[in-house]
Structure 1
Amino acid sequence: MNTLVAPPPPLVSPVDFDLDPAATGLELLRRWAQRADRVGGFPQRLAARPVEFDEGSVRIVCDLDPGHANFMDLVHGGVSAALVDVAGGSAVMTILEPGQSLLTTDLSMRFLNAAPVDCARLETVGRIIFRDARKAVVEATVSTTDGLVIAQGTVGVSIRAAR
């Protein structure tokens, strides 16, 4: 019988981010960008953070480490999917009014190229292509820093009323 002993998971802090209901989504995104290394949870594990944003668009960077690799020593496709999701939510975040929140409702992906984990960084640009009062659709492209497109995706996002 083979016994497998997995190494302990990397240390990730619990989520530590103040979702101030009086702040606009753009203000919350600005706060995330200013303290990206200390927000905890999945954003910290993914090592993704917003670096450029304006109403309806965002650019997210993800600094890669060995934990982003699959068994083929390539960036795992789930990393690209997560980046598309993060870019979708972040682009919609730029248009939220105080008290509103968001929730991804659907995600579609097209994987176009493999990214070696030693490429160091992926960038994802998300742009709103449709919006009304209750929903938005974002197109997102994941690329290496030298411009190789890794994946493209579309994210449906529900805009939830202030409570």
Structure 2
Amino acid sequence: MQTPDRNATLAQWIAEEQAMRERLQGPGSLTLAQVSQLTPAEFFNGIGNGELPSPPMGALLDFIPIEWSEGRFVFQGSPDAQHYNPLGVVHGGYAATLLDSCMGCAIHTRLQKGQGYTTLDLRISYVRALTDSSGPIRAEGKIVHLGRSTALAEGRIYDVDGRLYATGSTTCMILEPRG
């Protein structure tokens, strides 16, 4: 049975996703040199406002950025049968990609203009299987630590009822501008 709170949350999530999809530009990429000329806020706001192309990976797996702030990033998607493995559930790589993305982007939000990052370590714990009836789901990443050379973040995937599907953590190397 669906509760009024669940229905309101589901309606809000769907409306937020639709509004973002209407703003997003089609998939495309910037060069590393182009990205390094932007602050993280300029970069993510440019994507969210449709001024910059949206990342092709999101189009491939059908997930989009929903909200971001300094040290936090949220993607939303609805897994379906195209993401299934031979066992009839969503492949674990779908969750791993969403977690890698939200945690990496959370770190990116705190970098200085010109800095980059790369994933050194990615750990995923699967709590329950995703299916085509699980969505919409959200992948939320938050920074745990940002140092001079490395950053740590945590992430989780959950649905409108707050059910947890997977958690993750990452260590990323901070890359200084090439000069």
Sort the TM-score into its range (normalised by shorter chain): 0.7 to 0.9
Q: Which amino acid aligns with 2:28?
A: V
Count of equivalent residues: 151
Q: Which has the higher strand share?
A: 1
Aligned partner of 1:106 among 104, 108, 121: 121
Q: Aligned pair 1:44/2:62, yes or no?
A: no
Q: Matches of residues 126-137 of structure 1 in structure 2 within 5 Å?
A: 126-137=141-152
User: CA offsets per residue over residues 111-131 of structure 1, 9 Å max, x none?
Assistant: 111122222322011110111
Amino acid at match of 2:154: E
Q: Deviations over 1:112-158 (max 9, x none)?
A: 11122222322011110111112110000011222110000101111
Match of 1:7 in 2: none
Letter in 2 for 1:29: F
Match of 1:74 in 2: 89
Aligned mates of 1:14, 1:26 — CA distance in 2: 19
Task: Report the CA distance shift for 1:20/1:131 in structure 2 as closer, same or farther (over 3 A).
Answer: closer
Q: CA deviation at 1:33?
A: 2.6
State the AA in 2 paired with 1:83. Answer: L
In the other structure, the counterpart of 1:15 is: 28
Match of 1:142 among 157, 163, 170: 157
Q: Percent identity?
A: 25
Aligned equivalent of 2:40: 25
Specify the code of the residue in structure 2 equivalent to 1:147: G
Provide the C-alpha distance between the structure 1 equivalents of 2:104 and 2:72, rounded to a whole number of angstroms.
10
CA contact (8 A) 1:23 1:97 kept: no
Alignment correspondent of 1:4: none
Q: TM-score, normalised by structure 2?
A: 0.75
Secondary structure class of the residue paired with 1:157: strand
Which of 51, 56, 63 aligns to 2:78? It is 63
1:84 equivalent in alignment to 2:99: yes
Identify if the C-alpha distance between structure 1 residues 61 and 115 changes in structure 2 by more than 3 Å, giving closer, same or farther. Answer: same
Q: Deviations over 1:13-52 (max 9, x none)?
A: 873346432211222122233349x535322212222211
Q: Which runs of 5+ in 1 are unaligned?
A: 1-12
